[in-house]
Amino acid sequence: MFENGERNETKQAEHSGDTVKVLELTLKSTLEDLCRALFGENAKMRWVDAYFPFTHPSYELEVFYNDKWLEVLGCGIMEQQLLESAGAGDKVGWAFGLGLERLAMMQNLKIL
């Protein structure tokens, strides 16, 4: 799960490549399921590399809505230093934030 490696564009120095793959897979599949619940099973989605200060790597999930790509959330693998400072240095995790103001303005969502 952990290693003493180098940080690069795809992983933090403390994480093994396998750890990052598993975290990325669960992160993206969970959030894609969330978007399908909101936008429907046939929603077109795409992932875009991004930067957020407390996650690395970081991504944005965009959904094709009303003939344009709309960013609906940002996410990423939590910086290991944050977990260490919280006393959970033996854990790994991911975080996300929804663009609630954008979702609130949409009229055709399944939840509205």
pLDDT in tens, 69-111: 989 999 999 999 999 999 999 999 999 998 877 777 676 555 5
Q: Is 3 contained in some domain?
A: no
Asked if the structure places residue 112 within a domain, the reply is no
Residue 87 lies in a domain: yes
Q: Is the pLDDT of residue 112 over 50?
A: no
Whether 12 maps to a domain, the answer reads no
- Whole domain around residue 73: which residue ranges? 17-105
With respect to residue 110, please indicate whether it lies within any of the assigned structural domains. no
Whether 8 maps to a domain, the answer reads: no
- Number of structural domains, the chain? 1
Is 61 inside a domain boundary? yes
pLDDT at 2 exceeding the cut of 90: no
**Tens digits of residue pLDDT in 18-44:** 999 999 999 999 999 999 998 899 999
Cβ-based neighbours of 101, under 8 Å, separated by 6 or more: none
Q: What is the pTM of this model?
A: 0.86
Supply 79's token pair.
């910086």
Helix boundaries (H) for 1-112: 17-39, 80-85, 100-105
In one-letter notation, the amino acid at residue 48 is V
Which letter does DSSP use for residue 2 in this model? Answer: B
Q: What is the mean pLDDT of residues 53-75?
A: 93
Which phi and psi angles does 45 have, rounded to 5°? -130, 155
The answer as to whether 1 is a domain residue is: no
Nearest to 78 by CA among 34, 35, 27, 18: 27
The pLDDT value given to residue 109: 59
